[in-house]
Chains A and B, each alone.
Chain A
Amino acid sequence: MATARVALFHGVSTLLLPRPAAAPVGWWAMSTDEGSAEDVRESETSVERDARFEADALPLLDQLYSAAMRLTRNPADAEDLVQEAYAKAYAAFGQFRPGTNLKAWLYRILTNTYINTYRKKQREPLKSDAGEVEDWEIARAASHTSTGLRSAEVEALERLGDSVVRDAMSELSDDFRLVVYLADVEGFAYKEIAEIMGTPIGTVMSRLHRGRAQLRARLADHARELGMTVPS
């Protein structure tokens, strides 16, 4: 058994090579004069630009919808949010510098649209007492390790399916849920997340650490509630 476990981590650790530096987000790149490559915006027709939008931005629909589902926590609002984000992105597409980080640019639009439009009029009630709960959860989750989940619990969660994880995610506060989504589902680097959320990197790191701890505490609760207890 130990050999198999070592092999798993070994296999993953060889994948943990240094990442290439992230390309700058669209509107950050706007202000830098890179000069060298010809900007296709200067020569394309509006029909060509529309085709470029469809070819480059549309493929990200599933990912943006998934993010919107985590943000709004209901399908009707998620669809509205994504549609509005795409409308804004389409209207602003001329401002996006080709070759820079389109995914992060779209996520920034989605996040801002969510904050400005949906956060205020949520159909689902806001998570209450987030502050009170999180300290207790963090104390517990962090009491011995930074993660708090044992392999038996993780194996139990694997068998319980996606809805358990989604439920646990929905129990986090907005900020924690979003930062965990951006890091662990989309794989954005801290710097990209900071640009998407419009917060300093330090805030991202702090929210990520606390959000992950809270999520793991919730997952352990769900695993326990559903009868897959690990003797403590």
Chain B
Amino acid sequence: MTTPFPIEPGQSTSLCREVLEALESLLDNVMPETDADLIRAHIETCDPCTEAADAEVHVRELVRRACQEKAPEQLRIRIVSQVIVRSVR
């Protein structure tokens, strides 16, 4: 089972949990700026939350890159020729 991000002794676990739950909204740019500033401020001073935020940023980047493919040249040619054929009137 995946373990939670490590919480250091003395750290506010409920605050970290709230912050991590807010991470999705933060990274989706749907959080009001004042809230976003507070969340970022916590993350930047909290190593486990920094690690979690970095991991999430990194996963999104991984997914983005992995799903980018190049269309086959023949497909491009077929689609362009659809347009060209129709413009010859």
Q: How far is the CA of A83 from the CA of B72 in the complex (A)?
A: 12
By a CB distance below 8 angstroms, the chain A residues around B80 are: 54, 58
Query: How far does the Cβ of B36 sit from chain A's closest Cβ, in whole Å?
Result: 7
Q: How far is the CA of A217 from the CA of B59 in the complex (A)?
A: 12
By a CB distance below 8 angstroms, the chain B residues around A184 are: 60, 63-64
Say yes or no for A110: interface residue by CB 8 A criterion.
no
Tell me the dominant secondary structure on chain A's binding face. Answer: helix
Determine if A145 and B29 form an interchain contact, defined as CB atoms under 8 angstroms apart: no
Q: How far is the CA of A65 from the CA of B51 in the complex (A)?
A: 34
Say yes or no for B24: interface residue by CB 8 A criterion.
yes
Q: How far is the CA of A16 from the CA of B75 in the complex (A)?
A: 36
> What is B's interface to A at a CB cutoff of 8 Å?
1-5, 17, 20-21, 23-24, 26-30, 33, 36, 40, 43-44, 47, 50-60, 62-72, 75-76, 78-80, 82-84, 86-87, 89
Tell me the dominant secondary structure on chain B's binding face. Answer: helix
Contact with B along A141-155 (1 / 0, CB 8 A): 101111111110110
Q: How far is the CA of A46 from the CA of B87 in the complex (A)?
A: 7
Determine if B36 and A16 form an interchain contact, defined as CB atoms under 8 angstroms apart: yes
Determine if B28 and A190 form an interchain contact, defined as CB atoms under 8 angstroms apart: yes
Instruction: Supply 23 A–B pairs (Cβ within 8 Å), ascending by A.
Output: A5-B54, A12-B57, A16-B26, A16-B27, A50-B86, A63-B68, A65-B72, A66-B67, A69-B69, A90-B86, A141-B2, A144-B2, A145-B23, A149-B56, A151-B58, A154-B58, A154-B59, A166-B66, A169-B63, A184-B60, A212-B24, A217-B2, A232-B3
By a CB distance below 8 angstroms, the chain B residues around A102 are: none
Q: Which 10 A-B pairs have the closest CB atoms?
A: A144-B4, A165-B66, A65-B71, A162-B66, A50-B87, A145-B20, A151-B55, A66-B69, A185-B67, A154-B58
> What is A's interface to B at a CB cutoff of 8 Å?
2, 5-6, 8-10, 12-13, 16, 18-19, 46-47, 50, 53-54, 58, 61-66, 69-70, 75, 79, 82-83, 86-87, 90, 140-141, 143-151, 153-154, 157-158, 161-166, 169, 180-181, 183-185, 189-190, 209, 212, 215-217, 219-220, 232
Chain A's closest residue to B7 (CB) is A144
Determine if B54 and A151 form an interchain contact, defined as CB atoms under 8 angstroms apart: yes
Chain A's closest residue to B3 (CB) is A232
Determine if A2 and B50 form an interchain contact, defined as CB atoms under 8 angstroms apart: yes
Chain A's closest residue to B76 (CB) is A61
Q: How far is the CA of A217 from the CA of B88 in the complex (A)?
A: 52
